[in-house]
Amino acid sequence: MTATTLKLGPFDLERVFRAVDKITERMIRAAATLDAAKIPYAVIGGNAVANWVSRVDEAAVRFTKDVDILLRRADLDAATGAMEKQGFVFRRSGAMTMYLDGPTAKARDAVHVLFANERVRQTDLHPAPDVTESEATGRIRVLQLESLVRMKLTSYRTKDQTHLIDMFDIGLIDETWIGRFGGETANRLRDVIEQAKRERLPEDDDPGAKDE
């Protein structure tokens, strides 16, 4: 399908809000399923970032379309049994492991699984953290901040760098965090912070400027 043949629907704010609600509901339903089955897990990725960012400034929360969770590989069969009872459908696609949100769902309508203590790619600087590196938020378990930052520095895609910049901009992390990491991981965080400083607008340093 090309841009000239793409069929556009009407603008509809309700569809936008509904899309966000569906992702949030999917995350909460998956978390409740795993909690009920007593299977250790942690919400990671953009939703974990959003939960941490919202603790400082809800206006800085960035919408994400992915639901990503961390599981131990040894718990995969038990997790699959529990998730399938709630209507999720287990799928493997290449290196990706996921639970589709129903039999007709697409890969983007899924809960994506990363495995604790394993590298996603052999070239990754670090393996994924363990599920114990998480904390309860009330309805879900979210990866601890330092472990989340390390995962973002390991993946280091454009969206990971954007999430790190968001964390820096609102003060969740600062330059002292560079000392928490070594080698290339520390270099990456230093580069992200320097980029954030270059891109910072004058009003970012003067909260009252936006109200003048």
Residues listed for the chain: 212
Return the pLDDT at 2: 52
Nearest-5° Cα angle at 58, 27 to 206: 155
Confidence of residue 23 (pLDDT cuts 50, 70, 90): very high
Pairing of strands 96-100, 89-93: antiparallel
Per-residue pLDDT tens over the stretch 136-145:
999 999 999 9
Pick the closest to residue 151 from 53, 42, 75 (CA basis): 42
- pLDDT higher than threshold 70 for residue 202: no
- pLDDT higher than threshold 70 for residue 203: no
Return the pLDDT at 95: 87
What pairs with residue 70 in β-bridges? 42, 114
Confidence of residue 212 (pLDDT cuts 50, 70, 90): very low
Q: What is the mean pLDDT of the chain?
A: 92
User: For 187-208, what is the mean pLDDT?
Assistant: 82
Return the pLDDT at 4: 65
Return the pLDDT at 9: 86
- Domains annotated on the chain, with CATH: 17-201 (3.30.460)
User: Cβ(192)–Cβ(168) under 8 Å?
Assistant: yes
Return the pLDDT at 179: 97
User: Cβ(83)–Cβ(35) under 8 Å?
Assistant: no
User: For 94-114, what is the mean pLDDT?
Assistant: 93
Confidence of residue 206 (pLDDT cuts 50, 70, 90): low
User: For 85-106, what is the mean pLDDT?
Assistant: 94
- pLDDT higher than threshold 80 for residue 207: no
- pLDDT higher than threshold 80 for residue 151: yes
Per-residue pLDDT tens over the stretch 45-82:
999 999 999 999 999 999 888 899 999 999 999 999 99
Return the pLDDT at 204: 59
Return the pLDDT at 93: 87
